[in-house]
Amino acid sequence: MAQAYDAVIATIVVASDATSVTKTMVKSTTWREGTSGEWKSTSCTLEAGKTYQFRTPNSGSGSGTTAVLPNIKASVTVGWDTSGSTITTVGDYFLYSYAYNCTSLTSLSVPDTSGLTTVGDYFMVYYARGCSSLTSLSVPDTSGLTTVGDYFMYYYADGCTSLTSLSVPDTSGLTTVGDYFMAYYARSCTSLTSLSVPDTSGLTTVGDYFMSYYAYGCSSLTSLILKGDTGWFSSHNISWSVPSSRLNYLYGYCEPAYLTNWQGLTATGKTLYTNYIQSSSYVKALGNSERTLYLKSFLTNNSQRGLYLEGGSASSTGDSQRNLYLGGCDTSNSERGLYISGFDTSNSGRSLYMQGFADDFYSRESADDLESNDTTLATTFSEQDYTDVENDDNVYVDLQGTARYMKFLFKEFNENESNTQKFTITWKGKSSVAPSSSTVYLQVYNRTLGQWETLASNNTSPANTKFTLTGTQPTNLEDYYDANYVISVRVYQDGMV
């Protein structure tokens, strides 16, 4: 537990390519350039590549919605002013609208609040609301609290459209919460794929609009991290406003001890069902009781071209060696990892039974034939190739050739180990041969029928112009996954058409 103080200091590291901004001080805030020297109350002009500090006393807290922080491209670390007086309580409007609509901030932390035992209403409301460029946002440690007032963390991260994951404070000690508890917490976080759900296991009383619109507009969610036991949700059906489009895309993950309880909430009329996790198979245990390993590999010198791998399980085994030797065939890409699931056998040697298969695996070629199956193509991706296609940044993996067909094959592993999860495939690229004269196709392999099926195509784009192909497969999903939860997708163009 860390000691809390009567003021916070934000250290603002301005990006080297930031545009200068002048910020007027609000809520009794003062500033200085660097991390030492005299505090000033005048307006502050922040410049690229420099560091500034803003100090805000808790006594300056109020309902004004003008942000304390400047709207500039910067990373911000927030901590206590340890030169001040120690406290265990903060009143109403603590850090209210602290970074509200600071659309240029890229990273924002919070002070260590684990030493607080009491907080007032509107605790950290609008803290990062509208911070659309944030890629990192911390959450407070509230493990010392047993009661919170109204509007606790209301609209905390609303509109943080660049965030891909968002945690929650430790609420395991709470017994009573007021109205609008964590309502609109992650509203309109459209890039969010992973969102935690607070621990309500100790709650006995909640106010009105409990967690209303908690995940409203979170249209990219694939994971809900379910903290603690089912708690309040076990006997109360609470809507978090998860978009209906997340059905069969969204999974819940919980501690193994509570797996059965959370799976029970996928029944009709229960909280997970209401939030579009409607099958117990879509709720899985954290910590992976199957002892999943992710191991990198390299070739040995033996004539069988086996792979020697070193690794340990996700949980401690007490055996620091646990090296594995697996026989296998070379895929011509020795740098690609293998995903391996294993479990202990009953013998005293603690051997492991292993199943191995490639993680996402991409290949390409120019050839005069078009495969009827999903056989790997002639040139597999290098590690640099995988890096180049990881982000939508106009960096491309090039394929050149004079043969009839230009082809990319993508084998995608579903980390949720499900063969019933809907999938959407998006490919972005360009061609020196105009799609308007030679169509580019996005296809998925149907393993049951043994044939390729078109998800999308483009026959309108000009040459050397970026375009997008997107396709979704919502039905008969078992036909497309193999036994290792891998689907095969290809993009090709027929240069002879």
Domain ranges of the chain: 292-340, 361-494
If DSSP codes are grouped into helix, strand and coil, which group holds residue 260? helix
Tokens encoding 349: 């040697």
Q: If you count them, how many residues does the chain have?
A: 497
Position 394 scores a pLDDT of: 81
Q: Which residue has the higher pLDDT, 29 or 449?
A: 29
Q: Is the pLDDT of residue 16 over 90?
A: yes
Q: Is the pLDDT of residue 314 over 60?
A: no
How does pLDDT run across 458-472, given as a tens digit for each residue?
999 898 888 999 988
Name the residue among 128, 126, 124, 144 with its Cα closest to residue 136.
128
Q: Is the pLDDT of residue 104 over 90?
A: yes
Q: Is the pLDDT of residue 118 over 90?
A: yes
Position 347 scores a pLDDT of: 38
- Report how far apart the first and last C-alpha atoms of the chain are (Å, whole number): 69
Tokens encoding 474: 């919502």
**Fold classification of 361-494 (topology level):** Jelly Rolls (2.60.120)
Q: Is the pLDDT of residue 282 over 90?
A: yes
Name the residue among 181, 125, 179, 116 with its Cα closest to residue 143.
116
Mean pLDDT of 95-104: 98
Amino acid at 140: P
How does pLDDT run across 292-302, given as a tens digit for each residue?
333 333 333 33
The pairs formed by 460-463 with CB atoms below 8 angstroms and a separation of 24 or more are 460/435, 460/436, 461/430, 461/434, 461/435, 461/436, 462/434, 462/436, 463/430, 463/431, 463/432, 463/433, 463/434
How does pLDDT run across 374-402, given as a tens digit for each residue?
988 888 888 888 888 888 888 888 888 88
Strands 223-226 and 194-197, by their bridges, are parallel
Tell me the pLDDT band of 496, cut-offs 50, 70 and 90.
Answer: low
Cβ atoms of 386 and 362 closer than 8 Å: yes
Poorest-confidence range of 259-263, 273-277, 331-335, 368-372? 331-335
Position 319 scores a pLDDT of: 35
Q: Which residue spans within 168-248 are E strands per DSSP?
A: 176-177, 194-197, 223-226
Position 287 scores a pLDDT of: 59
Cβ atoms of 1 and 114 closer than 8 Å: yes
Tell me the pLDDT band of 344, cut-offs 50, 70 and 90.
Answer: very low
Position 212 scores a pLDDT of: 98
How does pLDDT run across 208-254, given as a tens digit for each residue?
999 999 999 999 999 999 999 999 999 999 999 999 999 999 999 99
Cβ atoms of 89 and 5 closer than 8 Å: no
How does pLDDT run across 49-59, given as a tens digit for each residue?
999 999 999 99
What is each CA distance from 271 to 45, 233, 268, 401, 442, in whole angstroms?
49, 6, 9, 54, 37
How does pLDDT run across 157-192, given as a tens digit for each residue?
999 999 999 999 999 999 999 999 999 999 999 999
Q: Is the pLDDT of residue 415 over 60?
A: yes
Q: Which residue spans within 25-106 are E strands per DSSP?
A: 30-33, 44-46, 51-57, 74-80, 86-87, 89-90
Mean pLDDT of 41-67: 97
